[in-house]
Homo-oligomer: A and B are copies of this chain.
């Protein structure tokens, strides 16, 4: 079996989580998220973001989190704004539109939005009532392209959104990787302060399942649970989600796992850079997009699984490599060895 760098959800979960599932297995607990584990996990998250007034809900996955948040927050005629690379635009089978809302798309090479990107959207949507009303800005951190927001970037974007009555929603399917990137100066506490809603992704960072939606804007908290139930996202055995986040949030496990994933990717990146390899984008998280000669790609694919991401020219393509909380040193070293041998 070839080792896979295809994505960060190929394995199971961190052993602590399985251990906890075993330990608490036969306790009788209230259903639908009212169990003790969920309560404790929420308490831990509130401590970490230093905001006792935020409200937290656990759901199963990212598409589910995105569609529940957006359909809950918007009125029928309002729409979301997203970078063209946004997960909601091209990888969720129209899940947002299926709840009735358009997404306006902005082409960005780095997958990040700033106020200058959004101003033209606002200016070109003033033909009331013939156009949708832009109302929510969707961003991801780390982005779908592996890039991250700095504190300064997020602060400016947040200020702009508040001045323009736009909600700021951060998809944190890879929040751990974004915040532990070696170039990130952003903290979870700051994310909570600067966004209206965000979520902490568990699925791609050590959990079997689960994203923690954190609602910081109190206007958006009311009745949120109804939307979770209505969209079929309220697990009867909510303890399954609570236990995952309880373990991930203990001490710094969540961030330690993400940091490991980032470091493994950076090892490969650095090895390649030493050999002069170019990258499609300059990332410092667990996703890297090296541009390689097709022969080398062929050679690597005999030993590893990964996606060929984009054809560059007749002779070369960018590939995507993703590492995870569980990527061991061995395949990383093996990969680097081939690079060193071949380049």
Segment 10-33 of A: residues with Cβ below 8 Å from B = 10-13, 15, 18, 21-22, 24-32
| A204 in contact (CB, < 8 A) | yes
Which size bracket describes the interface of A in this complex?
Answer: 35 or more
| Nearest CB on B from A217, distance (A) | 16
Given A9-B237, A61-B235, verify A230-B26 contact (CB < 8 Å): no
Report the bound CA distance from A75 to B240 in whole Å.
29
List of B residues within 8 angstroms of A100 by Cβ: 94, 97-100
Q: Are the C-beta atoms of A237 and B24 separated by less than 8 Å?
A: no
Q: Are the C-beta atoms of B98 and A229 separated by less than 8 Å?
A: no
| Nearest CB on B from A321, distance (A) | 14
Q: Are the C-beta atoms of A25 and B7 separated by less than 8 Å?
A: no
| A92 in contact (CB, < 8 A) | yes
Closest to A22 in B: B18
| A76 in contact (CB, < 8 A) | yes
Q: Are the C-beta atoms of A232 and B95 separated by less than 8 Å?
A: yes
Q: Which of B26, B94, B97 interacts with A11 by CB under 8 Å?
A: B26
Q: Are the C-beta atoms of A1 and B28 separated by less than 8 Å?
A: yes
| Nearest CB on B from A246, distance (A) | 14
Segment 112-129 of A: residues with Cβ below 8 Å from B = 127-129
Report the bound CA distance from A118 to B318 in whole Å.
25
Closest to A328 in B: B26
| A141 in contact (CB, < 8 A) | no
Q: Are the C-beta atoms of B133 and A226 separated by less than 8 Å?
A: yes
| Nearest CB on B from A229, distance (A) | 4
List of B residues within 8 angstroms of A99 by Cβ: 100
Given A230-B94, A232-B231, verify A7-B31 contact (CB < 8 Å): yes
Q: Are the C-beta atoms of B12 and A223 separated by less than 8 Å?
A: no
| Nearest CB on B from A305, distance (A) | 8
List of B residues within 8 angstroms of A91 by Cβ: 127, 130-131
Q: Which residues of A contact B (CB under 8 A)?
A: 1, 3-4, 7, 9-13, 15, 18, 21-22, 24-32, 59-68, 71-72, 75-77, 79, 90-95, 97-102, 127-133, 203-204, 208-209, 223, 225-237, 239-240, 326
29 contacts between A and B (CB under 8 A): A9-B31, A9-B237, A10-B28, A10-B30, A11-B29, A15-B25, A18-B21, A18-B22, A62-B236, A67-B231, A75-B223, A76-B227, A77-B227, A79-B97, A91-B127, A92-B130, A92-B230, A93-B130, A94-B101, A94-B102, A94-B230, A97-B101, A129-B223, A129-B228, A203-B237, A208-B237, A208-B240, A231-B231, A232-B232
